[in-house]
Chains A and B, each alone.
Chain A
Amino acid sequence: MTTEETARTTRPETARRSPEEPARHTAETAPRLAWAQHAPEVYKAMLRLDTAARKGLDPRLLELVKIRASQLNHCAFCLDMHSKDALAAGESVERIIQLGAWEESRHFYTEQEVAALALTDAVTVLTDGFVPDEVYDHAAKHFEEAELAQLIAAITVINAWNRFGVTCRMVPGHYEAGKHE
């Protein structure tokens, strides 16, 4: 153990600072890969897909769906972006926080939003099985056919961004609301 490590072990960061001092966070790491630069045609197709999939969907609902899928896929970059966009669009802090446990806090959301969130969970976690009939049928009760197809497309697209974000370890914290539009 080095001297520095000993000092850290015996005098932890939290013990040293006064309550007024902000805690020192761990260091930010660089992303793994600048994928959009290395695959510009892929990036262009992603932007085109994103634009096409959001057409006809309520922007407020779309942000809820994007945040929920990003939670399931553990995409820090996407959570940073979409929680900021949702807040900027007037979404409430509590509805954003409760998304992590939406099944227990249905009364924060409309019936249509609950149906969309259940579909988001099912379409995101395909590896556990299929999209159950009850989930699809519930969504089909609240969205007309074309809108439902767009919702599935939108869930697909945030899953796609999540995969790039997590795999390339894109760094959260620098996004400013509205910047991606």
Chain B
Amino acid sequence: MSRTDVLDPEVARALSALSAAAKRGLGDPALAEFVVVRASQLNHCAFCLDMHLTIARELGVSAQQLDLLAAWEEAEGVFDERERAALALTEAVTVLTDGRVPDEVYERAAKHFDDRELAHLIGLVVAINNWNRVMVGRRIPPGGYQP
């Protein structure tokens, strides 16, 4: 059972609008799910993991990639350089409390994404971090997502 199901409808709509705008601007649905699942792993959001692993599977993302996402740095040959750059940025932007987003991480991402894509990628990391907080804070149980 959740702690509370209350979420202001306008807050929920704005959260959804933010996620949708970021995803649309990034324009790479499979990459978007890698980013979203990885952030949800770091933030331990059960609801978000259940939902986005389901979506990733629907998109046809391989089981091997999803299985190894938590160890992407060690999983040579499973993710391409662009995906790896996005995942490194996802981790840095998610774990702000340990420090700033390092130059090498930012510049690595800037090599693979133009300014517009990069702004949307950052937006997507922010958007899933939002959902992670709203779901973990209220302890929304996994399984609520219906494809």
Contact = CB atoms under 8 A, between A and B. Distances in A.
A129 B14 contact: no
Interface stretch (A83-91, A92-100, A154-162): A154-162
Interface in B26-79: 42-45
A130 B44 contact: yes
B113 to A, nearest CB: 10
A166 B8 contact: no
A39 B138 contact: no
B93 A126 contact: no
A153 B8 contact: yes
Contacts of B96: 72-75, 162-163, 166
A53 B97 contact: no
B101 A130 contact: no
Chain A interface helix/strand/loop/mixed: helix
A118 to B, nearest CB: 12
Given A129-B44, A163-B126, A38 B15 contact: no
B130 A41 contact: no
Of A34, A45, A124, A130, most B-chain CB atoms within 10 Å = A45
Contacts of A157: 130
Interface in B118-136: 118-120, 122-123, 125-127, 129-130, 132-134, 136
Q: How large is the interface on A (under 10, 10 to 19, 20 to 34, 35 or more residues)?
A: 35 or more
If over half of B's interface residues share one DSSP class (helix, strand or loop), that class is named, otherwise mixed; here it is helix
Q: Which has the most chain A C-beta neighbours within 10 Å: B22, B94, B123?
A: B123
B100 A74 contact: yes
B87 to A, nearest CB: 15
Interface in A113-143: 119, 123-127, 129-131, 136, 140
- Interface-central residue, A39, A49, A52, by most chain B CB under 10 Å: A39
A146 interface: yes
A35 interface: yes
A126 B120 contact: no
A173 to B, nearest CB: 17
Nearest to B116: A38
B121 to A, nearest CB: 9
11 contacts: A32-B106, A44-B17, A48-B13, A49-B18, A127-B95, A131-B139, A153-B134, A159-B130, A160-B126, A163-B126, A166-B96
Question: Which 7 A-B residue pairings sit nearest by Cβ, starting from the closest?
Answer: A38-B119, A49-B14, A45-B18, A41-B21, A39-B119, A42-B123, A52-B10
